[in-house]
């Protein structure tokens, strides 16, 4: 297939890239933009390891075409990967809490969980346990490290409330 030039807004920057019309967003992020935080886990929307935010909405990048997010008009949709959730060079509350509370075991699923939690906290800074479980229902951890993840999320909520 012939590559086409497209513009993508990723983590606050605009990139002009040549991509095949059938290129998955995950592949463009990892291979062309070298943003390797998002992982390929299943290729069928069942694990969430590839989750990124598109205009603040968790999106599974392994099953959507990069062309879907090309900027037809300026500005195009904003894609945020785990690399882009840091706050002015400092770790986001959820990133710090994952480290402090051992929220990651092998770490493969962690980027998807982190961006999903970021989206949740952006729209609801004080989610209930049920709201947290519901938000994370599309993300799977094969190491079963959920207890530490929930502790990390609670710590991140507390840190956000304190302004840290």
Could you tell me if 28 and 65 lie in one domain?
Answer: yes
Share of the chain above pLDDT 90, in %: 72
Q: What is the CATH number of the domain that holds 54?
A: 3.10.20.30
Band of pLDDT at residue 163, cut at 50, 70 and 90: confident
Give the three-state DSSP class for 164: coil
Q: Give residue 37's domain range.
A: 4-83
Classify residue 149: in a domain, yes or no: yes
Q: State which of 15, 48, 83 marks the end of a domain.
A: 83
Q: Are strands 57-60 and 78-80 parallel, antiparallel or unpaired?
A: unpaired
Classify residue 88: in a domain, yes or no: no
Q: Kindly give, in sequence order, each residue whose CB lies less than 8 Å from that of residue 47, ignoring residues fewer than 6 positions away.
A: 41, 109, 112, 139, 140
Please say if the pLDDT value at position 74 is more than 80: no
Could you tell me if 8 and 72 lie in one domain?
Answer: yes
What is the per-residue pLDDT across 106-156, written as a single tens digit (0 to 9) for each? 889 999 999 999 999 999 999 999 999 999 999 999 887 788 999 999 999
How much is the mean pLDDT over the chain?
A: 92
The pTM for the full model equals 0.92
């Amino acid at each position: 297939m012939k590559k086409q030039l497209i513009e993508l807004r990723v983590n606050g920057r605009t990139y002009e890239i040549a991509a095949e019309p059938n290129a998955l967003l995950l592949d463009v992020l990892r291979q062309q933009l070298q943003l390797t935080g998002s992982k390929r886990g299943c290729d069928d929307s069942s694990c969430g390891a590839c989750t990124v935010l598109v205009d603040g909405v968790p999106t599974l990048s392994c099953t959507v075409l990069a062309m879907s997010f090309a900027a037809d008009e300026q500005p195009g949709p904003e894609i945020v990967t785990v690399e882009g959730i840091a706050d002015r060079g400092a770790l986001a509350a959820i990133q710090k809490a994952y480290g402090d509370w051992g929220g990651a075991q092998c770490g493969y699923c962690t980027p998807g969980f982190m961006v999903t939690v970021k989206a949740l906290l952006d729209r609801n800074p004080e989610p209930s346990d049920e709201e947290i479980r519901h938000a994370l229902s599309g993300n799977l951890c094969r190491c079963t490290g959920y207890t530490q993840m929930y502790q990390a999320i609670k710590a991140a909520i507390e840190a956000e409330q304190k302004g840290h």
